[in-house]
């Protein structure tokens, strides 16, 4: 009984170690092979339409794959153009509307400062003036430190945003390369989908295949 329990525990840790190793391997492999992962997803998405063109309309499979890749690429480009147009129209609309509301906001801030902030500031000065010189210096020093921290954090946020723009532009060639390899991978995977499916199912046990 103890030997059987030890064997079960040993098999459990072996399976757990194998799953962990597979996940780690998949994580590091994905960093380099993600264009082909995207290619597989696109091929899986367009495969029913490819089969329809091949079986119902007698298209050569390679031509059907190229046609659907072009359609898919056209849809993506159309969505991108639509987003750019909407962003441009939204920006133009904001450019005409925001100045008016911004002036109202400035007026509101001025009124708020006059009616609320300045009285609080005056009461604070009166309260600080009643403190001892050392306490006054401590309060003023803390207030200055808070202001410096806020200014520093704001500057860091603006700096990070400005630095991200050149990084995005710098990565554009990489994005284009990934896109090219993804569509090339989609073509070859979808073109040989039947062969890939046959080889894949030949590796998996028949009970697992029939269960799906």
pLDDT value of residue 211: 47
Highest mean pLDDT among 92-101, 176-185, 200-209: 176-185
Instruction: Enumerate residues 6+ apart whose C-beta is below 8 A from 187.
Output: 62, 65, 66, 69
pLDDT value of residue 208: 47
pLDDT at 77 over 60: yes
pLDDT value of residue 3: 63
pLDDT band at 15 (very low <50, low <70, confident <90, very high): confident
Report the alpha-carbon distance of residue 182 to residue 106 in Å, rounded: 50
pLDDT band at 5 (very low <50, low <70, confident <90, very high): low
pLDDT value of residue 2: 56
What is the percent of the chain where pLDDT is above 90? 0
pLDDT at 1 over 60: no
Report the alpha-carbon distance of residue 32 to residue 47 in Å, rounded: 25
Token pair recorded at residue 148: 């410096």
Q: What is the DSSP letter of 130?
A: T
Question: What pTM did the predictor assign?
Answer: 0.55
pLDDT, one tens digit per residue, over 30-66 is 777 778 888 888 888 888 888 888 888 888 888 888 8
pLDDT band at 136 (very low <50, low <70, confident <90, very high): low
Radius of gyration of the chain (CA): 32
Angle between helical axes of 118-129 and 133-191 (0-180°, round to 10): 130
pLDDT value of residue 203: 66
């Amino acid at each position: 009984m103890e030997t059987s329990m030890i064997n079960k525990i040993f098999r459990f840790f072996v399976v757990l170690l194998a799953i962990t190793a597979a996940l780690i391997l998949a994580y590091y492999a994905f960093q380099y092979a993600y264009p082909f992962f995207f290619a597989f997803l696109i091929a899986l998405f367009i495969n029913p339409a490819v089969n329809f063109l091949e079986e119902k309309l007698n298209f050569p499979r390679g031509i059907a794959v190229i046609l659907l890749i072009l359609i898919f690429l056209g849809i993506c480009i159309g969505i991108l153009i639509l987003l750019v147009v909407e962003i441009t129209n939204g920006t133009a609309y904001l450019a005409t509307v925001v100045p008016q509301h911004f002036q109202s906001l400035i007026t509101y801030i001025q009124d708020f400062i006059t009616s609320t902030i300045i009285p609080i500031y005056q009461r604070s000065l009166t309260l600080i003036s009643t403190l001892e010189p050392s306490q006054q210096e401590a309060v003023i020093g803390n207030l200055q430190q808070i202001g410096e921290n806020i200014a520093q954090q704001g500057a860091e946020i603006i700096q990070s945003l400005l630095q991200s723009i050149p990084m995005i532009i710098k990565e554009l060639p990489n994005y284009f390369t990934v896109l090219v390899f993804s569509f090339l991978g989609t073509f070859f995977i979808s073109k040989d989908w039947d062969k890939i499916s046959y080889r894949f199912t030949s590796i998996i046990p028949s009970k697992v295949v029939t269960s799906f």
